[in-house]
Amino acid sequence: MSCSFGKKFRLTVFGQSHSKAIGAVIDGIPAGVRLDEEKIKALLSRRAPGKNAYSTKRREADEYEILSGTVDGMTCGAPLCAVIYNTDARSGDYEKLKTLPRPSHSDYAAYIKHHGFNDVRGGGNFSGRMTAPLCFAGAVAMQILESRGIYIGAHIKSIAGIEDRAFSPVDVSAAELENVKKKDFPVLDDEAGERMKAEIEKARAELDSVGGVIECAVTGLPAGIGEPMFDGVENVVSRAVFAVPAVKGIEFGLGFASSELRGSENNDPFTVSDGRVLTETNNSGGILGGITSGMPVIFRAAVKPTPSVGIEQGTVNLETNSPARLVTGGRHDPCIVPRAVPCIEAAAALAIINLM
């Protein structure tokens, strides 16, 4: 396993869904930063389960405790370690997973990789729960980025094909990003949001699940950030974003749509405004040659439907190597997309702070 990311702001994540605790160690935070606990709690709260009808009924406080790295709430240059204790774990729900891997979950791959010694309880260290320490670290990174005028925000771009408006790629504002974060269901077009929620509820009622797309924007980034060939903005952001479980695709700027355009349509002409070099359009998503252009960085991540569904599915019994049937128990989200929104922001923050 590889639980570390970054060189300058190095995050190490540990824990399993049902271990004593999960947590994050961050090395490289400058000394003298007063941690904004409200911001950390706000981000963790947006990720937390059990808040409403369309997420799992598991209730976890997700209250973190800082073990090291601060003196009186101020960073001291030592690695920052925060832990979240696992309290509402019902291990019994998962006993049969040892031999009956859930389709499109990590169970089978982890079983092979770890020779049957993997922790199957709640998905072990493959659980979506591991995004809580990611969000902790992302919130700390965001606080530091914001002190430099850089803001990161995301919204649900679509669920089950129902589309929200897109951020404006040329002039999405920090205020707009902050605004959508405050919503219980983070969409720009609340009417579209209502239709999405209805679709989630329908899937839930049918013991099924739905997926979606998350759009993320980073504003205030200066031009000139990124270390191509292998650590350009796309390389680093994509590596971070695929750490969020269920993400199966990422695109920057127009992304896949640009593959259908002519160069003359897709290119972003330069212009000057108030003495600043800008581009008239931003089909590049704020990235040229792997380096920021000074325009907003825009990307979208595809989230597959939650693989945990209440409908009977085909699996194999790993002890007998014979076909079997499985109905997944436990408490699961019919749609993970809303809770994944702050995770995508956190991954982006982690990537961006390491690029600077």
Residues between 251 and 290 that touch its own copies (CB under 8 A): 251-256, 258-272, 275, 277, 279-280, 283-285, 287-290
- In the complex with its own copies, the residue whose CB is nearer, 44 or 326, is 326
Mark 277-305 as b/e (b = at least 16 C-beta within 10 Å). ebbebbbbbbbbebbbbbbbbbbbbbbbb
Q: What HEC string does 89-137 produce?
A: CCHHHHHHHHCCCCCCCCHHHHHHHCCCCCCCHHHHHHCHHHHHHHHHH
Distance in Å, CB of 198 to its own copies, minimum = 15
Question: Cα–Cα distance between 141 and 6 in angstroms, integer?
Answer: 12
- In the complex with its own copies, the residue whose CB is nearer, 219 or 293, is 293
| Burial degree of 115 (CB within 10 A; 0-12, 13-18, 19+) | exposed
Sites for its own copies among residues 196-225 (CB under 8 A): 203, 208-213, 222-225
Sites for its own copies among residues 325-354 (CB under 8 A): none
Tokens read off for 268: 């972003």
- In the complex with its own copies, the residue whose CB is nearer, 42 or 76, is 76
Contact letters for its own copies, residues 174-193 (x by CB under 8 A): --------------------
- Asked whether the beta carbons of 271 and 279 are under 8 A apart, the reply is yes
Stretch that binds its own copies, among 37-45, 55-63, 145-153, 241-249 (CB under 8 A): 241-249
Distance in Å, CB of 289 to its own copies, minimum = 2
| Total interface residues for its own copies by CB under 8 A | 149
Distance in Å, CB of 199 to its own copies, minimum = 10
- In the complex with its own copies, the residue whose CB is nearer, 139 or 309, is 309
Residue 137's nearest CA partner among 272, 304, 262, 10 is: 10
Q: Would you count residue 240 as binding its own copies (CB under 8 A)?
A: yes
Distance in Å, CB of 189 to its own copies, minimum = 18
Distance in Å, CB of 175 to its own copies, minimum = 26
Question: Cα–Cα distance between 208 and 159 in angstroms, integer?
Answer: 14
- Asked whether the beta carbons of 192 and 321 are under 8 A apart, the reply is no
Tokens read off for 309: 């569904």
Distance in Å, CB of 131 to its own copies, minimum = 9
Sites for its own copies among residues 50-109 (CB under 8 A): 65-71, 74-81, 83, 101, 103-109
Sites for its own copies among residues 105-164 (CB under 8 A): 105-110, 112-119, 121, 124-126, 130, 134, 158-161
Question: Cα–Cα distance between 316 and 321 in angstroms, integer?
Answer: 6
